[in-house]
């Protein structure tokens, strides 16, 4: 069951993001470059967070301390990738005709960079967990719970989607000078990240239910900001 569980968790966490990548990013080399660049910026935020955690010795044992500053550094680097992409727009116009769609619809830049943030975030949060999932034993013997791997994969999926939606909202807020939306993104990031601290008590319903409620609200907010309507949503299911 360990191998089956391993692949099941991978498909759960990365199946939807992989479909999003194939359908919306893979056909355009410029989008692939932006996605990789955004992933690199998230890695830089992880590096800075690690250095900060290592430097502050008295609070190194406090998980909440590392969590808060990790969120802050991620949002700082989200802002940096926003500034770089906006400055690079003129250069993108000269690359290919396909990149014109990126310039005309700025939400695409936000979506692609957010997806890059989310995918690399999900990979780093889940890789060590899945390394244990493949064996030789399984969770639930003597200590722990058998739901650990499934819950970890579900949470990783939510954060991949969160980062995608957050970037759409964040970029639009900076374009329009909407400070409330910027604060909303940072606050929701802190809230949902803090919810994961409850995992140590194995009360997963108290984590997953509010996590996905906030995710749905964030998704609708990003959908509306990107110009989505009920008619366009309905039309997306017609072939």
The tokens describing 62, both together, are: 């406090």
Q: Which pLDDT score, from 0 to 100, does residue 130 have?
A: 81
Residue 103 forms part of a structural domain: yes
Q: How confident is the model at residue 29 (pLDDT cuts 50, 70, 90)?
A: confident
Q: What is the mean pLDDT of residues 35-47?
A: 94
Neighbours of 139 (CB within 10 A): 18
Q: Which pLDDT score, from 0 to 100, does residue 57 have?
A: 67
- Asked whether residue 69 carries a pLDDT value surpassing 70, the answer given is yes
**Residue-range definition of the domain harbouring residue 39:** 1-227
Residue 152 forms part of a structural domain: yes
Span 105-130, pLDDT tens digits:
678 889 999 999 999 999 998 888 88
Share of the chain above pLDDT 70, in %: 85
CA 21-162-149 angle, 5° bins = 85
Q: How confident is the model at residue 91 (pLDDT cuts 50, 70, 90)?
A: low
* Cβ-proximal residues to 157 (8 Å cutoff; 6+ apart), any chain: 12, 13, 14, 16, 17, 122
Q: Which pLDDT score, from 0 to 100, does residue 102 have?
A: 55
Residue 210 forms part of a structural domain: yes
Q: Which pLDDT score, from 0 to 100, does residue 95 have?
A: 56
Residue 235 forms part of a structural domain: no
- Asked whether residue 10 carries a pLDDT value surpassing 60, the answer given is yes
Domain tally, the chain? 1
Q: Which pLDDT score, from 0 to 100, does residue 232 have?
A: 74
CA 184-43-104 angle, 5° bins = 60
Residue 234 forms part of a structural domain: no
Short-list 136, 126, 122, CA closest to 42:
122
pTM for this one?
Answer: 0.90
Under 8 Å between Cβ of 71 and 103: no
Span 132-175, pLDDT tens digits:
777 665 555 456 677 888 899 999 999 999 999 999 999 999 99
Residue 236 forms part of a structural domain: no
Residue 237 forms part of a structural domain: no
Instruction: Report which of residues 30 and 92 the model is more confident about.
Output: 30
Q: Which pLDDT score, from 0 to 100, does residue 2 have?
A: 75
Residue 99 forms part of a structural domain: yes
Q: What is the mean pLDDT of residues 56-68?
A: 78
Q: Which pLDDT score, from 0 to 100, does residue 138 have?
A: 57
Span 198-235, pLDDT tens digits:
888 888 899 999 999 999 999 999 999 988 777 777 77
Distance (Å, whole) CA 157 – CA 16: 8
Give the chain's mean pLDDT. 86
């Amino acid at each position: 069951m360990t191998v089956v569980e391993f692949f099941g968790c991978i498909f759960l966490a990365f199946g939807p993001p992989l479909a999003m990548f194939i359908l919306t990013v893979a056909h355009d080399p410029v989008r692939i470059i932006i996605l990789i660049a955004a992933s690199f910026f998230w890695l830089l935020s992880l590096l800075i967070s690690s250095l900060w955690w290592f430097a502050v010795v008295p609070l190194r044992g406090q998980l909440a301390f590392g969590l808060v500053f990790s969120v802050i550094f991620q949002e700082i680097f989200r802002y940096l990738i926003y500034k770089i992409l906006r400055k690079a727009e003129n250069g993108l116009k000269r690359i290919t005709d396909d990149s014109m769609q990126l310039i005309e619809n700025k939400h695409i830049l936000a979506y692609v960079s957010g997806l890059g943030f989310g995918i690399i975030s999900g990979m780093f949060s889940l890789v060590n967990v899945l390394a244990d999932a493949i064996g030789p034993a399984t969770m639930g013997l003597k200590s722990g719970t058998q739901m650990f791997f499934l819950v970890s994969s579900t949470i990783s999926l939510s954060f991949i989607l969160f980062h995608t939606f957050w970037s759409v909202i964040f970029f639009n807020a900076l374009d329009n000078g909407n400070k409330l939306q910027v604060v909303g993104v940072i606050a929701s990031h802190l809230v949902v990240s803090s919810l994961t601290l409850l995992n140590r008590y194995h009360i997963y319903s108290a984590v997953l239910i509010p996590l996905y409620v906030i995710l749905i609200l964030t998704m609708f907010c990003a959908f509306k900001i990107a110009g989505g309507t009920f008619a366009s949503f309905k039309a997306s299911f017609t072939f």
